[in-house]
Amino acid sequence: MKHNSGPPPFPRHFDGRRFFNPNAPQSRGFLDVVRWKLTTRPEPSPRFVADVEPSKPPSRVENDALLVTLINHSSLLLQQGNSHILTDPIWSERASPLSSIGPRRRRQPGVRWEDLPRIDTVLLSHNHYDHLDLATLRRLAERGQSQFIVPAGVAGLLRSQNIGPVHELDWGESLSLASATIHSVPALHFSARGIFDRNRTLWCGYVIEAADRFVYFAGDTAFGNHFHAIRERFGSPRLALLPIGAYEPRWFMSPVHMGPDDALRAHQILGAEMSIAIHHGTFQLADESLDTPREELLSLTRDEHFLVLGNGETANIS
């Protein structure tokens, strides 16, 4: 059952036609894209890195453990008790509407499709192709085991592809499930799948409340004061999943993506007991090389409470 968690805790973010980032810079426009492409050169990056050893997650988790497996990019499998949650899943070869152009994967998924256990809930943070991959979602829907939670305005796309059941949440809204409550929280980003639909649908992060712990999945976001607001509303999360990639050049990317230094600050502001880096290592979406985000984060901190996993690696959060 969907419900509002008390009075609206987050600022207005819809002008009647389009969503926007409140009290924050907006995403750059077309002329800025042209400037970016004409004035910078991406760091060299390998075409493919064959270093992934796929893992096979268990069919269920005993006791109070939380197992978190990085599949790739922002796709994570969260397992606790008899609950299995999958975030922004993508198994496709490209993060693109077309099979012949667009960002191609440079590492394999860390879990083979045939080894994926039952998925109860799929969380989608926004409609960009590297986060909402219809081919993967159709395969999940065909298994008939999952429900899908999406930001405001995104449900129509899934229903048009016979993907469901699907539930829409605006910032501050929650959905009570059998084994968890899912809260939609702000992110600073934008949405678009084509030329004319920019910011027609919302973007968000999620707080997962289950087994007496909070897990925060940031989705895709810039750095901002929403981290303070999330901590104020929910307290410090047991685990935060924070994006670190697609941040160069900063003048262009900073309104929508965090760099490793931003993610470290967010970790500290949230007061997270543990954080795991996401949104890196599989698709090169900006000017930094494939593994530069990982290397930069590790150069900034060796904090054992901020983990950088490889595809297929699992963290056991007790």
Structure tokens at 112: 């083979």
Structure tokens at 78: 């969260």
249 preceded by a cis bond (ω within 30 of 0): yes
* Residue 101: exposure state from Cβ atoms within 10 A (0-12, 13-18, ≥19): exposed
Distance CA 287, CA 258 (A): 14
User: Please, what sign has the CA dihedral across residues 53, 54, 59, 65?
Assistant: positive
Distance CA 150, CA 204 (A): 9
At 7 the pLDDT is 45
Structure tokens at 284: 């090169």
* Residue 315: exposure state from Cβ atoms within 10 A (0-12, 13-18, ≥19): middle
Band of the pLDDT at 6, cuts 50, 70, 90? low
Q: Is the pLDDT of residue 214 over 90?
A: yes
Q: Determine the Cα angle at 302 with ends 130 and 105, to 5°.
A: 20
Distance CA 70, CA 156 (A): 28
Strands 173-176 and 2-4: antiparallel
165 preceded by a cis bond (ω within 30 of 0): yes
End-to-end CA distance of the chain: 29
Q: Report the 10 Å Cβ neighbour count for 316.
A: 9
CA torsion angle for 21, 27, 122, 114 (degrees, to 10)? -170
Q: Average pLDDT for residues 127-148, to the nearest whole number?
A: 97
Strands 213-217 and 121-123: unpaired
- Three-class DSSP category at 297: helix
Q: pTM for the whole thing?
A: 0.95
Which residues 6+ apart lie within 8 Å of 50 measured at CB? 108
Kindly state the DSSP code that residue 171 receives in the 8-state scheme. Answer: T
The domain segmentation of the chain, as residue ranges, is 47-317
Structure tokens at 76: 């994570």
At 132 the pLDDT is 98
Q: Domain 47-317: which topology?
A: Metallo-beta-lactamase; Chain A (3.60.15)
Alpha helices in 80-154 (DSSP H): 134-143
Q: Average pLDDT for residues 101-117, to the nearest whole number?
A: 96
At 211 the pLDDT is 83
Q: Average pLDDT for residues 67-71, to the nearest whole number?
A: 98
Higher pLDDT among residues 150 and 98, named by residue: 150
pLDDT digits (tens, 9 = 90+) for 222-278: 999 999 999 999 999 999 999 999 999 999 999 999 999 999 999 999 999 999 999
Distance CA 258, CA 244 (A): 6
Q: Average pLDDT for residues 31-41, to the nearest whole number?
A: 90
151, 143, 145, 97: which is closest to 123 by C-alpha?
Answer: 151
Distance CA 88, CA 103 (A): 16
Band of the pLDDT at 84, cuts 50, 70, 90? very high
The answer to whether the CB of 205 falls within 8 A of the CB of 189 is no
- Three-class DSSP category at 32: helix
Mean pLDDT of the chain: 94
